[in-house]
Amino acid sequence: MVDRTEKLLKDITEASGLPGFEDEVREIIKNEFKKFADEILYDKLGSIIAVKKGERERPRIGFFAHMDEIGLMVKGFTKGYVKFAPLGGWWSATLIGQRVKVKTDKGEFYGVIGAVPPHLLKKEEAQKLPDIDDLYIDFGVEEKKFDPQKKLGIKIGDPIIPVSEFKILGNKNIYMAKAFDDRVGCALLIRILEEIKNKKIPGTAYFVATVQEEVGLRGAATSPWVFEPDIAIALDVSLTEDTPGAKTETEAKLGGGAAIVSLDYTMVSHKKLRDFLVKVAEKYKIKYHLVTVIRGGYDTGRVHLFKEGVPSSIIGIPSRYVHGFNSMIHRKDFDNALNLCINFLKEFDEKKFKEITSY
């Protein structure tokens, strides 16, 4: 029997969806939302919002996850090779030798990211990581005067997409794929909506799949205007400290439970809302841990500044090797985050909203 969550994660991570090019993954999300939502809304940049009506219109609870994944964009050509610009934050060590594809009017074409081999460099040069500007993409065509613009229809501005398949690893609870940042959050949006379809909730829930998070939280700036949330929770990956070289030992690990994020680069989590998430987790015996994320931000970094302010927090899924071609998550962490969100919606009513916004 096909596992519902595994199938969803496979489909949604293998789909393409770079910042500004989210069409393919948005279509998957839209088709899932249509099965369970009372209404579907959009902002003008392409963020998609599913509505689950509650017993009352308010409080309006926004769950935010971004559709886009980090990728590359064609910026020029040199001697038959393609030069590229990053879409999102890349570390050059994760790029060299990786497979990518470019979509053009003539079809999809695969290539590999290349660099000058270390044995052709001086010793001191070989010990340094190359700049991203020094990398290129080789599409494997032999002609010396190969013109990728004419032969393959590649144009400046075309998206270049990481290539990686969803895999279940030796521990059957550990999954590997590209784009868990943040397709895992998008999968959570869908699964929460699915689980509460025939259940009553006190307030109204909005499930927001945003665009262009990786290039500046842009969909998070525009989508709140569509429904004016009272509170917001970002659903995204969090970091782990369970691999060789980790400088601290914490519960931030695969299998560590849902991560409740207290601080990131763009926001201090609203204390009363964060504490209520902890209370819900403990009441329903849901495994969780508290973390801080110093070098990164979430959609709520923009949402919490909407109008007069939106109390916001973050629920993370611990992930290894984020912003690379292959990252990992643990199925039980996903399930814990799912249960936390469902029970939060059961508990969060108008009285609780007034309580957390009383100063």
Binding positions for Zn(2+):
66, 181, 214, 236, 323
Domain annotation covers residue 169: no
Do 109 and 216 have their domain in common?
A: no
CATH number, position 98: 2.40.30.40
CATH number, position 308: 3.40.630.10
- Non-local (6+) Cβ contacts of 120 within 8 A are none
| pTM: predicted TM-score of the whole model, two decimal places | 0.94
Question: What is the pLDDT, as a whole number, of residue 124?
Answer: 66
CA distance 132 to 316: 29
- Non-local (6+) Cβ contacts of 275 within 8 A are none
Binding positions:
66, 181, 214, 236, 323
Query: Quick check: is 213 catalytic?
Result: yes
If you ran DSSP here, which 8-state letter would residue 139 be given? -
Domain annotation covers residue 262: yes
Q: How many CB atoms lie within 10 A of CB 11?
A: 15
Do 137 and 39 have their domain in common?
A: no
Overall domain count for the chain: 2
Do 140 and 38 have their domain in common?
A: no
Do 211 and 116 have their domain in common?
A: no
Taking Cα atoms as reference points, which of 47, 349, 351, 32 lies closest to residue 197?
Answer: 32
Domain annotation covers residue 32: yes
Residue type, 119: H
Tokens of 265: 């680069």
Do 207 and 350 have their domain in common?
A: yes
Q: How many CB atoms lie within 10 A of CB 222?
A: 17
Do 118 and 151 have their domain in common?
A: yes
Domain annotation covers residue 20: yes
Q: Which domain holds residue 288?
A: 4-69+178-356
Helix (H) or strand (E) holding 167: strand 167-168
Q: How many CB atoms lie within 10 A of CB 101?
A: 17
CB–CB of 342/334 below 8 Å? no
Question: What is the pLDDT, as a whole number, of residue 295?
Answer: 81
Residue 336 φ then ψ, to 5° = -65, -40
Domain annotation covers residue 19: yes
Q: How many CB atoms lie within 10 A of CB 337?
A: 29
Do 191 and 310 have their domain in common?
A: yes
**Ramachandran bin of 14, using left for φ above 0, alpha for ψ from -120 to 50, beta for the remaining angles:** alpha
Beta pairing, strands 312-319 & 231-239: parallel
Question: What is the pLDDT, as a whole number, of residue 147?
Answer: 66
Question: What is the pLDDT, as a whole number, of residue 249?
Answer: 61
Domain annotation covers residue 62: yes
Catalytic residue among 6, 69, 213, 347: 213
Average pLDDT per 10 consecutive residues for the chain, totaling 359 residues: 93 97 98 98 98 96 98 89 92 90 88 80 68 88 64 88 95 96 97 96 98 95 98 95 72 91 94 98 97 89 97 97 94 98 97 96
Do 76 and 65 have their domain in common?
A: no
Do 21 and 137 have their domain in common?
A: no
CB–CB of 6/164 below 8 Å? no
Do 231 and 312 have their domain in common?
A: yes
Do 148 and 185 have their domain in common?
A: no
CB–CB of 101/109 below 8 Å? yes
In order of 32, 160, 186, the CA distances from 273 in angstroms are 29, 39, 22
Domain annotation covers residue 170: no
What angle, 0 to 180 degrees and rounded to 10, lies between the N-to-C axes of helices 4-14 and 23-36? 150
- The CA-CA-CA angle for residues 52, 255, 5, to 5°, reads 40
The CA dihedral of 90, 45, 186, 175, to the nearest 10 degrees, is -30
Do 210 and 252 have their domain in common?
A: yes
